Structure formats: structure tokens, C-alpha cells
Structure 1
Amino acid sequence: MTEALPVDPSRRLILLVDDDIHLLALLSKMLQMANYDVRIATSAPMALGMLADGGREPDLAILDIQMPGMSGLELAAHVRANSPVPFLFLSASDTDASVRSATEQGAVGYLVKPIELHQLLPTVIAGLARGDEIRSLRDNEERLGQALQTGRETGMAVGVLMERFRLDRETAFRMLRDQARSSQRKLNDVARELLDAGELLNSFNRRLPEPRK
């Protein structure tokens, strides 16, 4: 089954993955009636290909747990490891073990077959909201990590200038900042270049022969 549905970038995009083409058609129709865009895949490898094709990233993936070949649980592990796409599971079982497995994989929701509209839409809405929260937290963590890395490199470069030219910290920082401004570059780029140059000089220094006694 090929995916040939039009996609509107202004609407949320849902990826449906199930080997049951009749269920895919039903769920797709339900979601499109609720103003969602839909992509469909009939197997885990097909879904992975869609996620890797460089196109628009789904806002949520709905994965059937029981599929031939790669299961939905295995697919979820690939998704979680390689993309930020949140996912929820479809299953014919609602046992404690099934729900626990879904939770352990990081699912944002769980749907039990047969699925009806009144069950589908609230779960999708909640899954999208939870996915948005997870994305926001991940983005904040990445920005914090970048800020900390920038601060470390700048601080180390300031320390190099202090030691090399016998400067106080404020003067060394001002020198680094002025160099960045005069060259119209980011402060951290100049700091990193200075650190790289210092490492290069140290590598030459390590190659120097020992002084004769």
C-alpha cells in the first residue's frame, strides 16, 4: 500500500503504522475528518523509511504493537533512538503487561482495538500535547547544554589570555570580546580558535627534545 495523501503544513501530521489496511483506512478517515494530516505505513520498515526520507516530520506516530517482522515495540525503540517523534501504541490487548511494555518504551498513549472515534481523538490530542512537552524539554536541555559549553570554552580562553599575557580576568575577557567584534565573529568561535591554537602550540612543545644536561 503506497502513501499518497496530500499534506497541509498548517495541520498536525500523524503517522499511522499497521499491517491491517482496513484499519489504516478507517483511522486515516477518522483523523482527516478531525482536521489532521495523515501518512500511512503497512510495516515497520516502511515507517522507518518515511522517517528517514528527509520530509516533514510527524507530530505523532501511532504504532500497532503486533506486526509481522519488526513489531511495534521494536519500531518504537528505533524511533526513540533516532528521532524526536512521540508515539502511542495500538493493541488488541489491554493487559497490565502490555501497558507496562508500552510505558517502558516511552509511549505517550495506548489505544485498544477495536477503536472508535470517541476513543481515538482524546488519546491523539493528549499524545500530541505530551509530545509537545517532551520536545520543549528536549529543546531546553539542548540550549542549556550549548550555553554551558559556550561558557566553558569562553572561560578557558579567558584563562589562557590571563596566563599568557599576565592579565586580570576582566581585561582578558574584554580583549577576547574586542577580537570577536573586530573580526565580526561569535565570541565562542574566537574562544574555540584560541583554545585550538593553544593545543597546537602545546603539541609542538611536547615534541621538543629534552635539554642536554
Structure 2
Amino acid sequence: MDDDRLVLATLTHGLAQAGYEVLDADNGDDAILIARQHRPDLALLDIRMEGMSGFDVAGYLRDYLQLPFMFLSAFADEATVAKVKELGALAYLVKPLDIHQIVPAVEAAFANRPARAGAATPAAPVTVEPASSLQVVEAMALGVLMHRYSLTRAQALSRLERMAAEQKIDLGEQARRLVEAVEQLALGS
């Protein structure tokens, strides 16, 4: 859900290619309506949207629908980051981004979100840049494989397991190596 139609179309297409069902809204009011009607597993929000702000939408999703959300925004000032933490976002990514960064972040957010039923406290925001937990690294690696090879999550997991077996290393180490390789490629380009 982003106010820039080109960014929104790119995100929608990229996430759909990665195997996600995507519902999009170009303003905060529509985002609330879609969330109420469809109850998505995760909402991606921009901070500046027409109508209700991303912060307003996030507050509504948290308080009334108990839906997890993450932010994609061009703002990284201290006040914005503090508000993102206060709202309980699963992740906060600073634009400009490309879909190669967003798919692994979405995977990591899914890996770290609380279960919907009985989740009393919001999860701590996910730090996507160097991943610190094995679960997040594995989720990022799956996201990379899903996007790169147009695989489902199950197919990506199978491929990651096969890669680990071929290298005679455990799954976590293979995931870490894959994520590091992608980061090195990103630095080189």
C-alpha cells in the first residue's frame, strides 16, 4: 500500500511473482477497507499515503484487526523510527528499495511475526540488514530463491536443502552463505 503508483505496481508484481497473493490500495482509507474485508497475513505500508497516514492505518490494523504490518518508507529520522517501534511494526525498510530486498524482508517478517491468536504484545521490529537469528537468515535465503527462480516457498526450501546437502553443510550455514553472497553482489553493483 503505497501512494506512488509505480512503486505500488512494482511491489505488487514482484510479490505476486514470488508467490504471494497481493491486494493493493493507493490510499490509507482503501487500505483499511481491504484489510477489514480480506484480513491479509501481512500489510506493507508507506508512511505517507493519501487519506489516513501509514501510521494511522498501522494503529488501526494493530488495535482493531490485530494484523501484522511492516513499513516501506523514504523517512529514516529518529522520530519516524521511534513511531515505527511504538506501533510494533515487524520490519521497517527505507526506500529506495527493489523487489530483491523486499521479498526476503517479507519472508523474514513472516518468520518473526507473532501468532495471530493470543498475541498479546507486538513483535520487536525485524532488522533486515545483517540478519542476526538463524530463522531470519533462513527466511531471507528462501525469499531470495523464491524471487530469483520464481519458486513457491516449499520449492525454495527444497532447493536450499539440496544445496546444503551438496555442500555437506547444515541448512543454516547454507542460508547464511546465500544471503552473504547476495549482499556481496548488491555491494558490487
Range of TM-score over shorter length = 0.5 to 0.7
Which 4+ residue blocks in structure 1 deviate beyond 6 angstroms? none
Distance 1:52 1:137 in 2: 19
Match of 1:92 in 2: 74
**After superposition, what is the alpha-carbon deviation per residue over 1:123-158, rounded to whole angstroms, capped at 9, x for unaligned?**
111111222x3425529xxxxxxxxxxxxxxxxxxx
2:139 matched residue in structure 1? none
Deviation at 1:117, TM superposition (A): 2.4
- Match of 1:69, SS? coil
**Match of 2:34?**
50
TM-score (norm 1): 0.53
Q: How many residues align?
A: 120
- C-alpha deviations, 1:163-204, integer Å up to 9, x for none? xxxxxxxxxxxxxxxxxxxxxxxxxxxxxxxxxxxxxxxxxx
Deviations 1:85-106 (A, max 9, x none): 1000111022232222101011
RMSD after superposition: 1.7
Alpha-carbon distance in structure 1 between the residues aligned to 2:111 and 2:66 = 14
Matched, 1:66 2:44: no
The higher-RCO structure (CA 8 Å, 6+ apart) is 2
In structure 2, which of residues 98, 116, 119 is the aligned counterpart of residue 135 of structure 1? 116
Q: Which amino acid aligns with 1:72?
A: G
1:37 alignment counterpart? 21
Where does residue 81 of structure 1 map in the other structure?
63
Larger Rg: 1
Match of 1:25 in 2: 9
Match of 2:108 among 126, 151, 169: 126
User: Contact 1:64–1:90 at 8 Å: present in 2 too?
Assistant: yes
Higher percent of residues as strand: 1
**Structure 1: stretches of 5+ with no match in the other structure:** 1-16, 140-213
Deviations along 1:49-79, whole A, 9 cap, x unmatched? 11222x4x21100000012331100111111
Q: What's the secondary structure of 1:88's corresponding residue?
A: strand
**Range with bigger deviation, 109-118 or 38-47:** 109-118
- Structure 2's unaligned 5+ residue stretches are 121-189
Taking structure 2 as the reference length, what is the TM-score of the superposition?
0.59
What is the CA-CA distance between 1:45 and the residue it aligns to? 0.7
Q: Does 1:105 pair with 2:80?
A: no
**1:114 maps to which of 96, 101, 120:** 96
The 1-side partners of 2:23 and 2:51 are apart by: 21
- Taking the aligned partners of 1:69 and 1:44, their CA distance within structure 2 comes to 5
